A and B are shown apart, each in its own frame.
Chain A
């Protein structure tokens, strides 16, 4: 068992690592390379300064938000603390521009009503097999799912589900190889994201989202043809969220 366990471990680690879609390396700080390989200190901003500047900006934004939205400030759904971005699609300008629109922030009530469903799918195998492009644009990533969820929440969705599972601010959505894990449950593609809410507002928000616009362009491109489907539905049922809500660092309702 000892040897076998170690062999399995080695095989699985290599399998997990080998299957990863490695994102492009982040841009490195620009520097004057004429003087040799030591980066010029002028172009290097110490992380402490970056952190300090970030804190100042966040504080100002927070103050403004608190002042403007004070009358209906409620916990808003957070798409998660970290969202890795695929540079080939539009960058997300502001992850939480519409705090306070959510009426049922903790998802403890089931919801039924009209809404819309977006289905995201990887490009057909034929295209993936023959492409010369970065295969990442042919696959659905967690940030694509998050972008749809975000647009739905911005449109005032009263409930959002992914693969029929209710998702809330505390939901954990991560890519794991070719599956996406939502609150611990792995799902294969295609990914169905549904929202209960005002259909016109939902369609407008999804239509107007810059990230999703790029996604749809890529879906329409025969060389990419990553899957996109959007439909209105007369009745969508979102079950109550059944996971834990008690996060130390999560939003709370008093």
Chain B
């Protein structure tokens, strides 16, 4: 459930698109940032999602959970939008090919996993964000991504394995998954 406490009621007094968009925007933006990894891309992604929701608002507003509907739109936009160019454009990624010199800021030191989340392939990253930020169940993630729960499990497993490996190479603990 996305932002249950702030989600406008559905049904007879369904919200207008403006009302809904205004209340959903902060959460939408935060999730978009976790997916896209930069403010500019996050704004694009969240806006594209709103545009899509606007065009199909009749359908979205009648859904049991408009939030889940928007989440699916955004995840799909993110995954499909990334596919063609993800290797071509070096700009606006969080993990450039240059080696990072040691001695980052306190923030960078504290966040051990987030930098590696950015280097996951889009689908794995989406599963990680849906599971550990949106706190969705495997079944909900499967519905969001329109795939089987088995597929979600294996994708999550691969993502965690990659993160663990990245962490291992950071700290030289060398733990194998």
Binding site for B on A (CB under 8 A): 1-2, 5-6, 8-10, 12-18, 20, 22-23, 25-26, 28-29, 33, 37-39, 44, 47, 80-84, 142, 170, 172, 174-179, 181, 183-188, 242-244, 247-250
Residue among A13, A33, A82, A247 making CB contact with B132, cutoff 8 Å: A13
Chain A interface, DSSP helix/strand/loop, else mixed: loop
Which one of B17, B38, B128 lies within 8 Å of A37 (CB-CB)? B17
Residues of B within 8 A of A82 (CB): 40-41, 44, 92
> Bound complex: CA of A22 vs CA of B31, how far in Å?
11
- With an 8 A cutoff between CB atoms, is B141 at the interface? no
Is A12 in contact with B93, judged by CB distance below 8 angstroms?
no
- B147 part of interface (Cβ distance < 8 Å): no
CA distance A188 to B21 in the complex (A): 33
Taken residue by residue from 37 to 51, chain B's Cβ proximity to chain A (1 for < 8 Å, 0 otherwise) reads as: 011110110010011
B143 at interface (Cβ–Cβ under 8 A)?
A: no
Looking at chain B's contact residues, is the secondary structure mostly helix, strand, loop, or mixed?
A: helix
CB-based closest 5 A-B pairs: A82-B40, A17-B30, A184-B96, A25-B25, A13-B133
Contact check, B96 vs A17: say whether CB atoms are below 8 A apart.
no
Contacts of A23 in B (CB 8 A): 29, 39, 43
B57 touches A1 (CB 8 A): no
Contact sample, A vs B, 10 pairs, CB 8 Å cutoff: A5-B167, A9-B132, A10-B135, A12-B111, A12-B114, A37-B57, A174-B39, A177-B107, A184-B100, A249-B88
Q: Mark B41-80, 1 if CB is under 8 A from A, else 0.
A: 1011001001100110110010000000000000000000
Are A247's CB and B98's CB within 8 A?
A: no
Among candidates B29, B40, B88, B128, residue contacting A22 with C-beta atoms closer than 8 Å: B29
Q: Are B133 and A17 in contact (CB under 8 A)?
A: yes
B79 to chain A, nearest CB (A): 18
Q: Is the CB of A188 within 8 A of B113?
A: no
Is B101 in contact with A185, judged by CB distance below 8 angstroms? yes
Partner of B34, one of A6, A16, A176, A188: A16
Known: A1-B175, A142-B39. A247 touches B89 (CB 8 A): yes
Alpha-carbon distance between A142 and B38 when the two chains are bound, in angstroms:
11
> Within 8 Å of chain A (Cβ to Cβ): is B94?
yes
A239 CB to nearest chain B CB (Å)? 13
A184 touching B98, Cβ below 8 Å: yes
Closest to A18 in B: B30
User: Which residues does chain B contribute within 8 Å of A2, judged by CB atoms?
Assistant: 160
